[in-house]
């Protein structure tokens, strides 16, 4: 029969001390890991109406994992459910999809940046007009055949070749040369 009035054996007392020490060590380790995590975390917040990309890793077994696009969008934030969860809907909805809105965690979102470049130059006749970046350098002389709206901007003559074309991205290039061999 077990007598509750006697002192526990020394092995039980030692186990209690070991358990308390392990608990303290675990609490310390958790605190250190939390500090390291908080140092490296980036807190993203979005407002209602912001446009975002959504990360959706969809792989088909027969396809390569190198080329698929995982960031889809743009999506518009329609509701902020918490600091971590947002409700989004596509800006350009697909009529074939039944589910138009999605609940997305903030880790699967990034800000939408449109795929366009500001035009660094404008074409005027046979000249390229580029905005002057520094105020230290005085503008070069401008010929009178360029409109007055462009005075104060640096003008560089283009080659006299008239077959320059404008690409979809707004760049002016020459078509490739075809070699007759």
SS (H, E, C) the chain: CCCCCCCCCHHHHHHHHHHHHHHHHHHHHHHHHHHHHHHHCCCCCCCCCCEEEEECCCCCCCCCCCCCCCEEEEEEEEEECCCCEEEEEECCCCCCCCCCCEEEEHHHEEECCCCCCCCCEEEECCEEEECCCCCCCCCCCCCCCCCHHHCCCEEEECCCCCCCEECCCCCEECCCCCCCC
Q: What is the pLDDT of residue 126?
A: 44
pLDDT at 161 over 60: no
User: Is the whole-model pTM more than 0.75?
Assistant: no
Lowest mean pLDDT among 78-92, 94-108, 144-158: 144-158
Please check the confidence at residue 62 and state whether its pLDDT lies above 90: no
The ranges assigned to domains in the chain are 51-111, 121-173
> Residue 118's pLDDT is what?
47
């Amino acid at each position: 029969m077990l007598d509750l009035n006697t002192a526990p054996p020394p092995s039980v007392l030692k186990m209690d001390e070991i358990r308390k020490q392990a608990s303290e060590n675990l609490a310390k380790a958790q605190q250190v890991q939390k500090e390291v995590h908080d140092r490296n975390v980036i807190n993203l917040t979005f407002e209602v109406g912001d446009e975002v990309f959504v990360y959706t890793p969809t792989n088909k077994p027969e396809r390569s994992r190198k080329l698929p696009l995982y960031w889809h969008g743009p999506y518009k934030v329609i509701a902020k459910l918490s600091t971590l969860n947002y409700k989004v809907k596509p800006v350009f909805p697909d009529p074939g999809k039944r589910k138009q809105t999605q609940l997305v965690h903030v880790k699967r979102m990034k800000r939408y940046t449109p795929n366009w470049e500001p035009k660094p130059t404008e074409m005027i006749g046979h000249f390229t007009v580029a905005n002057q970046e520094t105020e230290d350098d005085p503008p070069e002389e401008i010929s009178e055949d360029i409109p007055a709206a462009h005075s104060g901007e640096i003008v560089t003559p283009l080659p006299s070749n008239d077959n320059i074309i404008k690409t979809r991205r707004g760049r002016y290039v020459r078509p490739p040369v075809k070699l007759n061999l």
